Structure formats: structure tokens, C-alpha cells
Amino acid sequence: CQMALRWAFFSSVENSAGIQVVVADCGSYLYLNSLRPTPECTVTRNSGPDHKCDSFGQPDGSESSYNEYKYGLDFTGSVDTNSYVDPFAINSKLLIDAIDAFPSKNVRFLFGKWDVCMCGAAGMENDPDYCFPTGTDCTPNYFQFSLNDVLCCDTYPDTFVDNVADSHLGGMVQGSNRLQRGLNYVQYLQYFYAPRGDP
């Protein structure tokens, strides 16, 4: 998912080529400036499939790593890039062109309404109906979230043993779970591109 979205952004393939990119429940998204959803958009619980976010700003007191590539377009730190992204890191014109071209690309987003678990971050109110499936033994579980002796599992039913939801700063400022992050990102793109007259 993350690779497909980033390919769609950096690719020079035009929409007229008939290519459609579908991304679903990414762990994180590529933001186009330093703005992120404000705290009321990143509550640490299941905010549901009707979650709305119309408030974006720079995260308070956070270090700048939240905006480094893969989470944003800041290439100035010790960021691992690759030969595909390197030209954009050193040529701001290419980066501006990619930002301008992105709304014309055929990118579709799919979100799972139960993809609301985050087992690797402190302070989460993991949903008892979805985050503790019987028969799983997901790790790591640093904060020992459990319900009736069943550990929290943020990747079920894809796996019964691994927790992999991104709990790094760059992911957490985008939302507290994959559903919330996806909904926030789509609304961010609308917010970002609205002044330009793009849909």
C-alpha cells in the first residue's frame, strides 16, 4: 500500500495511460507539506468510518522527523531514499511538478471499517469488539493490551501472530489507527488541493 501510493506520487506516468492505483489501509501516508491532522482528528480510540477531519496544522512540540520521507517530503535529514526518489530530493522543480500532477492521477483509496487497532502505542483505547480476536497471539505487545487473556492484535485476520501497525511519530501524527489515518489523508488532500481548484 505505502509503496503503491508513493509510486503513484513520484511516477511520471500520466492518467491518460489508463493506470489506476488502488491503496488500502496504509500504515502511513505521504503528506505534501508539514501540516498534519490536529489532535481532535487523531483521538486514541475507534472514531469510526464516519470520522471527519477538517483541521490541519503543525504538530505541537514534535521533532521534525514526522515530516521526513516516507511520511512527508522533507529529504534534509538522514533519510533513506532510493534511486527512484533521489532526483526529487535534489531537484525542487521535480518535486513541485509531482505535487502539481498528483490530483490528475487515478488513485483510489479503500479502508476497512474495522481496521481500528493500534497495539504498539501507549494510551490507546483499543476497541474490545475488534482488537482482541480469540485464537490470536500477536506480538510485539509492549503495553500488554489484553482482554479476557487475549492480547491485542492489530493485523487480524491477515495474521494471527504479528502486530505491525506503525507506531512511530510520523505515523501517529497522521492518526491513531489505519482507518483514521486513511480518512484523515483523503480529507487532507482535499484541504491541500482546494485552494488550487483541484478536486
* pLDDT tens per residue, range 83-136: 888 899 889 999 999 999 999 999 999 999 999 999 988 889 999 989 999 988
pLDDT average, residue stretch 22-45: 95
pLDDT average, residue stretch 36-56: 96
- pLDDT of residue 52 exceeding 90, the answer is yes
Q: What pLDDT is recorded for position 84?
A: 81
Would you call the peptide bond into 87 cis, given omega within 30 degrees of 0 as the criterion?
no
139: Cα within 13 Å, side-chain hemisphere: 1
Contact (Cβ atoms closer than 8 angstroms) between residue 19 and residue 106: yes
Q: What pLDDT is recorded for position 91?
A: 92
pLDDT average, residue stretch 2-18: 83
What mean pLDDT is reported for the chain? 90
Element containing residue 5 per DSSP (H, E): helix 2-10
Q: What pLDDT is recorded for position 6?
A: 92
